[in-house]
Chains A and B, each alone.
Chain A
Amino acid sequence: VPANDLGTLVRAAANGDATAWEALVARFSGLVWSVARGHGLSRADAEDVYQTVWFRLAEHIDRIKEPDRIGSWLATTARNECLRLFRAGARTSITSDPDTLDSGNRGTASPSPEQLLVESEDAATEVDRLHELWRGFVQLSDRCRRLLRVLMASPPPSYAEAAAALDMPIGSIGPTRARCLAKLRELVTMPGLTERSS
């Protein structure tokens, strides 16, 4: 979505257009979630931050100063709420524990398209590979996990939005991403990790 269209969406939503609001949620829901999870909040705390951010936007939307940069506003707001919750005593549990790894989608009422794929054998193998990749991801440093978690939001954020989410200069996003992806490649090609049978 081009930036000027984002501005149009924000102004339409501020004027009561529910369709424009839903388009904003569709575009940035994944980013807001990934900022909270990237900062190491438990799923329960991340849900609270996620809701706070969207509730706050709903009541702030007519006073957003730069509507074209709404993604950065959401990312910054999510980051600030994460930090506030940390100071106030949040439960942090980064995804390294096996429970969290496996509890992702299982047991939710309606299966996602990804889950439906599990029907076939090939897809099951693919799912196993993705879980392996995730096991490598959670072993990365906090810094790499935070950056990559934000960049892997669906749909992917712009570097400007990622910079806001991480409070990093925009110019260091690219180089840090390259370093962190290289580390992850090392982790997932280690025999102990990739050879693990499931």
Chain B
Amino acid sequence: MNASDVSDDAFEERLRRAADLIDEVPPASLRAARTAHSIRRLDAELAELVFDSLGTREAQMVRGGGEPWLLTFEAGATTVDIEVSTTRRGLRVLGRISPEVAIDVEIRSGDRTIRTSTDPLGRFVADEIPGGATSLRLRWGERSIVTEWLTLPRATPAS
């Protein structure tokens, strides 16, 4: 069959068959999506991303490494600032919660969960963050906050 003999709709349908064959959703990712509903952290407040130093315009794309990447999340009057950088040991997340409070911090990133806690000024640091889908959970007293999920680049091996 010659490609020019078929209608655009039929041609697009052939492309869909090709994509289903060659570039389908990986099964592990599909499983993660299907079970995402059951891992909702309903007891926690959602802190939404309100600032991203990388901006939102396509024109600002790819600058290479080196510059700190700053993100701010807010839940009510509580603000969580984080700075993401690359070190020899992978990604580092430096954070601060304000108003400052002593909290337990749990960072879910890729397949791992990394735990740390704040100093008296509400600051925390975590290394060897794998990257991928990432969210922080902050807990103190009766309160619990989770930051909106976002994607951190996978750390590239140190050269």
Q: How far is the CA of A52 from the CA of B2 in the complex (A)?
A: 41
For the complex formed, measure the closest distance between the CB of B21 and the CB atoms of chain A, giving whole angstroms: 5
Report the count of interface residues on B (CB-CB < 8 A): 60
Which residues of chain A (140-198) have a CB below 8 Å from chain B?
148-149, 151-154, 156, 177-178, 181, 184-185, 188-189
Q: What residues of A have a CB within 8 angstroms of the CB of B22 in the complex? A: 95, 101, 104-105, 130-131, 134
B98 smallest CB distance to A (angstroms): 23
Q: How distant is B82 from chain A, measured CB to nearest CB, in Å?
A: 13
**B23: A residues at CB distance < 8 A:** 33, 37, 95, 104, 134
**Which residues of chain B from 26 to 61 have any CB-CB distance to chain A below 8 Å in the complex?**
26-30, 32-34, 36-41, 46, 52, 54-56, 58, 60-61
Main secondary structure of the interface of B (DSSP, over half): mixed
Is A88 in the interface zone, CB < 8 Å from B? yes
Q: Given A105-B24, A108-B26, do A137 and B15 touch, yes or no (CB 8 Å)? A: yes
Cβ contact within 8 Å between A148 and B15: yes
Contact B17 A181 (CB under 8 A): no
How many contacts A-B (CB < 8 Å)? 184
From the candidates A88, A151, A184, name the one contacting B153 in the complex (CB within 8 A). Answer: A88
In the complex, B151 has a CB within 8 A of chain A: yes
A-B interface, 8 closest residue pairs, ranked by CB to CB distance from nearest: A21-B37, A104-B22, A54-B33, A87-B54, A130-B18, A51-B133, A52-B133, A58-B36
Q: A33-B24, A84-B52, A85-B151 are in contact. List 11 more A-B contacts (CB 8 A).
A: A18-B38, A48-B132, A58-B39, A87-B60, A89-B62, A91-B154, A105-B22, A130-B17, A131-B22, A185-B3, A188-B3
Q: Which residues of A contact B (CB under 8 A)?
A: 13, 18, 21-22, 25, 29-30, 32-34, 37, 43-45, 47-52, 54-60, 63, 80-81, 83-91, 95, 101, 104-105, 108-110, 112, 114-115, 127, 130-131, 133-134, 137, 148-149, 151-154, 156, 177-178, 181, 184-185, 188-189
